[in-house]
Structure 1
Amino acid sequence: MSDFRESIDIDCRPEDAWAYITEFSHLPEWQESAVSTEQLDAEPVGVGSRLRITRHIGRRDIPMTMQLTEYEPPRVWGMQGIDGPVRGHVHGEITPLDEGRRSRVTIEVGFDGKGIGKALVPLVVRPQIRKELPRNEQHLKDRLEHPVP
């Protein structure tokens, strides 16, 4: 179950959106809470691959390990948190528009709390993501429509 769902239309091909979004080292460029990323498994990326993402949540930087649960280039990806007090689950889709010249990116995000995370999710995480997710999609749109050389 997702807590949040946002979509945005982007003037770039679905393949280009996919390449940028699933190159996880780019996460800190377009996601406000992402501080750093580290791929934990050797290439190639696919279902089962793990990624450590450090996020700034509230007043702390919290590392969390995410595992890819869906990976269907260039259309669908999904991740599930497998450790830490806050475990996110993400489902993303890229839908071609205008005969593949543009893309609609839809991201769904939900959270489960373990231990102290049970308090953090409703008090800190959900309010932060409610504000952040639409801004993240706008950052993604800006990055894809106006790439930095």
Structure 2
Amino acid sequence: MENIGIFIRNERLKQNVSLRNLARETNITPSYISHVENGNIKTPSLEHVMKIFSALKVSPNYLVHFGYMKGDLDQHFIENELNRRSQKGEIQGLIKREINNFDRETLEATYMMITKYREIMMNMYRVNQQNERMPMTFVNDLLRFYQSEYASKS
């Protein structure tokens, strides 16, 4: 059986995706991905593998191949999870494109609103059904994006 790190590197290179871009897309450090690709981390976590596979649009069947899941019962879960993560990426892209079109005043007002109500957003997302923190990562990404845009338009 092929090493998962070699498989990930081959898929990434086949798609012309840099290590940094994959790291940015998955919110995983470039160092971690490099360690996986070089075989220093032989069994990366399922969460990290799913993020990488989703970003590279790798079939969930490979999770079974590499021993992360067993059979058809898990297949439904895998497909739903990869689809959800893909939709999240599409939504993030749409919002970021809209933000790029904001004038300085709108950008500043929105940034101030997000900053001011961040705690409310955090509490709201903490109470979701699956108790995930992923939506907060998105809020934090938006705040960083706003900071960079606001600084460039100042």
Give the TM-score taking structure 1 as reference length. 0.32
Higher strand share: 1
Q: Which has the higher contact order (CA 8 A, sep 6+)?
A: 1
Higher helix share: 2
